[in-house]
């Protein structure tokens, strides 16, 4: 079945995890994504942890569904090849500091001259404008300045970052959505490309919006949690941890009844979230004592029958073996690597234009000859000469590429 973006050629010049996630999604929905990387290998290939064969696992995840060309973008000798690639690109994704982008002659106006109607997406820590535009950043700084860390973790300890790459996944996804928004505009206005500007800190702050406005309306910063009770998140049960996050009145009644706490179930004051919040000391200990006698999946199943929201803390082992995800066909192998690892599958199911994992992550420069050789006016002797001159690179054996 046709994929939504199978008419699209994407050139990925980005070096960041966010940029890589953006182009991974473009590839997942059908775009032909060519990733440029230095001859020494993309810098994401240095990220731990590593697979038994030495390859970076985060890189394997975010570089699937792409072809890799090893070529140093900033080497003037590679410029004709770069421009030939840009002439064929419907979408370009990059993560340079804004001033550097202009210096390299890769700003939107320059790209338009090579490819009218091109969509350029820049994903940077702080965006294309403003006093921090040139200041570097990463996931940690995005979650700090974007507010997230201030409410994450315990009040009596340091603020807590999200788990690995959260700001990057969000910014990469926002970049994907921004690109497809620009495509939708171009669908109705042929030839009208544009520059899409994604700031990682703003995507992080966008997902902080409720806590931000709550802080303002209440005239005090939304705090980190003051205690590790069911009002805040998972608590211990017999074989792990379990979140009983009550959001509707009947969840409360039915959960308390199941736990045998009939006085709490029957007193209607407890049905209001704001009341529970103000009187948490009066119930959390009692509820948690009862929960502690349950195994997590048994409690989940009993609450599910009663249509009460509940969350056993699941490990990756449990999720890979999870019957529900299996029944939905969530896990996937790359079509070109049936003996390879199982990947998490589609983030959403689009039946008429489906997600697909067609390609395993490429080795460094694996497609250098294939991609460059297909460019107009490029022949084998020329590629050999560029190879000998150290302008472009070929694939190296897998175990050598990691731990640079």
Partner 1 sequence: MSGPLEGVRGIVLTQAWAGSYCTQLLGMMGADVVQLEVRKRLDSWRGSYDGPMPAALRSVPTAQHAWNCNPAYNSVNLNKRTATLDLATPEGVDVFKRLLVHADVVAENFSPRVLGNLGIGYEVMRSVKPDVILVSLSAYGHTGPWANVPGIGGTIEPTSGMSALLGYRDGAPMNSGQMYPDAVAGLNGFAAVLTALHHRHRTGDGQYIDLSMQEANLMFVGDAALEHVLTGAQRPRLGNRHLTFAPHGIYRCAGEERWIAIAAESEAQWVALCTVAGHGEWRADARFADNAARKANEDALDAAIGAWTAGEGRDALARRLGAAGVFAAPVLDGLEVAHDPHLRARGFIAEVDHPEAGRWPQSGVPVRFSRTPVAVTRPAPLQGQHNLEVFGELLGMSGAEYEALARRGVSGVGPPD
**For partner 1, which stretch binds (CB under 8 A), given 79-87, 217-225, 262-270, 279-287?**
217-225
Nearest to 90 by CA among 194, 198, 199: 194
- Nearest approach, Cβ of 153 to partner 1 (angstroms)? 7
Should residue 178 be labelled a site residue for partner 1 when binding is judged by CB under 8 A?
A: yes
When binding is defined by CB under 8 A, the residue of 74, 116, 213, 226 that contacts partner 1 is 213
- Nearest approach, Cβ of 40 to partner 1 (angstroms)? 14
Should residue 45 be labelled a site residue for partner 1 when binding is judged by CB under 8 A?
A: no
Residues 236-255 that bind partner 1 (CB under 8 A): 236, 241-243, 245, 247-248
When binding is defined by CB under 8 A, the residue of 65, 93, 95, 148 that contacts partner 1 is 148
When binding is defined by CB under 8 A, the residue of 102, 104, 110, 212 that contacts partner 1 is 212
d(CA 377, CA 375): 6
Nearest to 42 by CA among 21, 18, 72: 72
d(CA 209, CA 146): 10
**For partner 1, which stretch binds (CB under 8 A), given 66-74, 225-233, 366-374, 380-388?**
225-233
Q: Considering beta carbons, is residue 150 or 368 the nearer one to partner 1?
A: 150
- Nearest approach, Cβ of 258 to partner 1 (angstroms)? 15
Contact predicate 56/165, CB 8 Å:
no
Contacts of 35 (CB under 8 A, 6+ apart): 12, 20, 23, 42, 63, 66, 67, 68, 69, 362
Contact map string, positions 328 to 367, toward partner 1, x by CB under 8 A: x-x----------xxxxxxxxxxxxx--------------
Q: Give the residue ranges of DSSP H helices in 155-236.
A: 166-188, 200-206, 209-217
Residues 5-44 that bind partner 1 (CB under 8 A): 5, 7, 25, 29
Q: What is the dihedral of CA 24, 29, 33, 39, to 10 degrees?
A: 20
When binding is defined by CB under 8 A, the residue of 96, 165, 270, 283 that contacts partner 1 is 165
Should residue 225 be labelled a site residue for partner 1 when binding is judged by CB under 8 A?
A: yes
Should residue 270 be labelled a site residue for partner 1 when binding is judged by CB under 8 A?
A: no
- Helices 17-28 and 166-188: crossing angle in degrees, nearest 10, is 50
Query: What ranges make up the beta strands (E) of 190-299?
Result: 195-199, 235-237, 240-243
HSE-up of residue 54 (Cα within 13 Å, Cβ side): 10
Q: Considering beta carbons, is residue 35 or 371 the nearer one to partner 1?
A: 35
Should residue 287 be labelled a site residue for partner 1 when binding is judged by CB under 8 A?
A: no
When binding is defined by CB under 8 A, the residue of 285, 307, 335, 400 that contacts partner 1 is 307
When binding is defined by CB under 8 A, the residue of 76, 191, 281, 315 that contacts partner 1 is 315
Contact predicate 39/70, CB 8 Å:
yes
């Amino acid at each position: 079945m046709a994929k939504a973006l199978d008419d699209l050629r994407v050139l990925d010049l980005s070096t960041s995890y966010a940029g890589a996630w953006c182009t991974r999604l473009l590839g997942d929905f059908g775009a032909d994504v060519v990733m440029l990387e230095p001859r020494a290998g993309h810098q994401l290939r240095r990220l731990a942890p590593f697979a038994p064969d030495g390859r970076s696992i985060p890189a394997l995840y975010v570089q699937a569904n792409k072809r890799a060309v090893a070529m140093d973008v900033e080497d003037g000798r590679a410029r004709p090849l770069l421009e030939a690639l840009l002439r064929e690109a419907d979408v370009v994704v990059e993560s340079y500091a804004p001033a550097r982008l202009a210096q390299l002659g890769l700003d939107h106006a320059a790209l338009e001259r090579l490819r009218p109607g091109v969509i350029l997406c820049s994903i940077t820590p702080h965006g294309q404008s403003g006093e921090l535009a040139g200041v570097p950043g990463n996931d940690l700084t995005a979650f700090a300045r974007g507010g997230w860390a201030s409410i994450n973790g315990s009040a009596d300890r340091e603020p807590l970052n999200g788990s690995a790459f959260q700001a990057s996944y969000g910014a990469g996804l926002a970049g994907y959505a921004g690109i497809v928004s620009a495509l939708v505009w171009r669908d109705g206005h042929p030839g009208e490309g544009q520059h899409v500007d994604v700031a990682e800190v703003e995507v992080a702050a966008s997902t902080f919006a409720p806590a931000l406005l709550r802080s303002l309306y209440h005239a005090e910063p939304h705090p980190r949690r003051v205690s590790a009770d069911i009002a805040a998140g998972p608590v211990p049960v017999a074989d792990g941890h379990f979140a009983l996050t009550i959001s509707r009145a009947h969840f409360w009644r039915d959960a308390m009844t199941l736990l045998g706490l009939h006085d709490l179930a029957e007193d209607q004051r407890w049905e209001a979230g704001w009341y529970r919040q103000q009187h948490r000391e009066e119930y959390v200990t009692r509820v948690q004592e009862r929960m502690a006698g349950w195994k997590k999946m048994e409690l989940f199943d009993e609450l599910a029958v009663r249509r009460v929201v509940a969350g056993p803390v699941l490990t990756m082992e449990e999720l890979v073996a999870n019957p529900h995800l299996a029944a939905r066909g969530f896990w996937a192998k790359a079509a070109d690597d049936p003996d390879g690892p199982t990947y998490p599958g589609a983030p959403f199911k689009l039946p008429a234009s489906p997600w697909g994992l067609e390609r395993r992550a490429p080795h460094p420069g694996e497609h250098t000859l294939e991609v460059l050789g297909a460019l107009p006016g490029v022949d084998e002797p020329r590629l050999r000469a560029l190879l000998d001159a150290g302008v472009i690179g070929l694939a190296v054996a897998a175990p050598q590429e990691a731990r640079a």
